[in-house]
Amino acid sequence: MSRTERTELLIGEAGVNSLALAKVLVFGAGGVGGYVCEALARAGVGMISIVDNDVISESNINRQIIATYDTLGMEKIKVMEQRILSINPSCKVSTYGCFYLPDTQEAAQFDFTDYDYVVDAIDTTSAKLDIICRCKEAATPVISSMGTGNKLDASRFEITDISNTSVCPLAKVIRKELRDRGVKDVKVLYSKEEPVKTGSRTPGSISFVPPVAGLLIAGEVIRDLLKR
């Protein structure tokens, strides 16, 4: 039985071939982005580009698929690349070890028209806004992850337009900024769960919440790619 046999039963040979030709850019290889990459690779997406400048730390182990005691101190993008290739050796993986910020050389290297889909799974508000706006200008589909910290109920995640969001503090900021810029029709994942009050400035996290967010995003991307 081949690697794609069970997938082909579900989406057909044409679907498998379509995913093999798809090119997806993922910003962030952490709790959410790592599971996005995992699911894209297992579904057979043929070209995956990953952007992250971080290294794996012990505090990542509770929620990040690439984080173990064996990978501590290693670059997230390199560990993710190795994992993808161990799942799908024919996948073309590109890695960018940079911290994306607007109006920088690092940001300028990305041509968003080169991709079939872009996933934003990073934390910096200015970077999220820039990625979304550049994708809209390039007419490239994009989905942005809102906050997953201080959450305990993964069943409260929802994929919707940014204009329909509520509760999530990050979504509120992004919604206002996009409205001020006249940017509409932006697909996001957010949680309707009220954030748990921890008393710490560092967001709390747990093993199952960011992974569910990442898998939901990957599923949305794959279904959209199959509609092309």
* 49-73: pLDDT as tens digits: 999 999 999 999 999 999 999 999 9
- For the range 15-19, what are the long-range contacts, defined as Cβ-Cβ under 8 Å and sequence gap of 24 or more? 15/226, 16/44, 18/225, 18/226, 18/228, 19/43, 19/44, 19/45, 19/46, 19/222, 19/225, 19/226
Tokens of 166: 């509520």
| Encoded tokens for 118 | 């872009």
Name the nearest CA neighbour of 51 among 126, 122, 108. Answer: 122
Residue 117's pLDDT band, with cuts at 50, 70 and 90, is very high
Q: Please check the confidence at residue 115 and state whether its pLDDT lies above 90.
A: yes
**Residue with token string 């509409």:** 184
The pLDDT of residue 64 = 99
Q: Extract the tokens encoding 88.
A: 């799908």
Map out the domains of the chain as residue ranges: 4-226
Percent pLDDT > 70 in the chain is 100
| Average pLDDT value for residue range 27-45 | 99
Mean pLDDT of 181-209: 97
Residue 76 near residue 31, CB atoms below 8 Å: no
Taking only the tens place, the pLDDT of each residue in 147-191 is 999 999 999 999 999 999 999 999 999 999 999 999 999 999 999
pLDDT of residue 163: 98
Does residue 1 have a pLDDT over 90?
no
CATH 2.40.160.40 fits 4-226, yes or no: no
- Provide the mean pLDDT of the chain: 98
173 vs 158: CA distance, rounded Å: 18
